[in-house]
Amino acid sequence: MRRMITSKPLGLLVWSLIISQCVAAQDMSAQVKGNMSVSLTNSSNTAAWHQYGWGIARFSDNNQRLNVSRLALSSRVDISSAWSAHVVAQYVPDPNDKIGLTEAYAQYQPLAQGYQFSARVGGFYPRMSLENPALGWSSPYTYHFSGLNAWLGEEVRTFGAEFELKRAARRFRSKHDLSAIGAVFKGNDPAGTLIAWRGFVPHDRQSVFNERIGIAPLKSLSTPQLSRQGQYVEPFTEVDGRFGYYLGAHWSYLKQHALRFYWYDNNGDPSAINYVTKQYAWDTKFWSLAWRTKFNAQSQLIAQAMVGNTAMGPTRGVDNDFYSWFVMLSHTFDDYRLSVRAEQSKVIDKDHWQFDENASFTKGVTVNVQKSLSEQWQLGAELQLIDYEADARLAVGRAKGQDEQVWRLNAQYQF
Amino acid sequence: MNKILLLLGLLSTASNALEITITDEQGKPVAGTAVWLSGKSWQANQSQQQTIYSMGQKDRAFTPHTLIVPSNSQVEFPNFDSILHHVYSFSQAKAFELKLYRDKPLAPVQFSQAGVVELGCNIHDWMLGYILVVNSGVYGISDAQGKVSLTIDSAQLGNTQLNVWHERFENLNMPESQPLTITGVSQQVQYQIKQPLLDKLEFITDETDDYE
- Please tell me if residue A25 touches chain B, with a CB cutoff of 8 Å: no
Rounded CA gap, A49 and A356, in Å?
Answer: 17
**A111 interaction partners in chain B (CB closer than 8 Å):** 86, 88, 90, 97, 122
Cross-chain residue pair B125–A116, CB shorter than 8 Å: yes
Cα–Cα distance list, A26 to A8, A23, A79, B104 (Å): 27, 5, 10, 14
Task: Classify residue B199 as exposed, middle or buried by CB count within 10 Å of its CB (0-12, 13-18, 19+).
Answer: exposed
H or E element: which one contains B6?
Answer: helix B2-15
Q: What is the pLDDT of residue B126?
A: 93
Q: pTM (2 decimals)?
A: 0.90
Q: How confident is the model at residue A28 (pLDDT cuts 50, 70, 90)?
A: confident
Radius of gyration of chain A (CA): 21
**B87 interaction partners in chain A (CB closer than 8 Å):** none
AA letter at A261 = F
Give per-residue pLDDT as tens, A83-92.
999 999 999 9
Q: How confident is the model over A146-161, as a mean pLDDT? A: 98
Rounded CA gap, A22 and A16, in Å?
Answer: 10
Q: How confident is the model at residue A6 (pLDDT cuts 50, 70, 90)?
A: very low
Q: What is the pLDDT of residue B13?
A: 43
The answer for B 190-209 residues in CB contact with A (under 8 A) is: 198-199, 201-209
DSSP string, B34-49: EEEEESGGG---HHHH
> Does ipTM surpass 0.90 in this model?
no
Q: Do domains B17-43+141-195 and B44-135 have the same CATH topology?
A: yes
Least confident range from A381-385, B129-133, B151-155, B205-209: namely B205-209
Spans of all domains in chain B = 17-43+141-195, 44-135
Q: How confident is the model at residue B211 (pLDDT cuts 50, 70, 90)?
A: low
Q: How confident is the model at residue A55 (pLDDT cuts 50, 70, 90)?
A: very high
- Please tell me if residue A231 touches chain B, with a CB cutoff of 8 Å: no
Give per-residue pLDDT as tens, A113-143.
999 999 999 999 999 999 999 999 999 999 9
Tell how strand A336-349 and strand A360-372 pair up. Answer: antiparallel
CATH number of B44-135: 2.60.40.420
Q: What is the pLDDT of residue A7?
A: 45
Give per-residue pLDDT as tens, B70-122.
999 999 999 999 889 999 999 999 999 999 988 888 999 999 999 999 999 99
The CA distance from B44 to the nearest CA of chain A, in Å, is 32
What's the fold here for domain B17-43+141-195?
A: Immunoglobulin-like (2.60.40)
Q: What is the pLDDT of residue A9?
A: 47
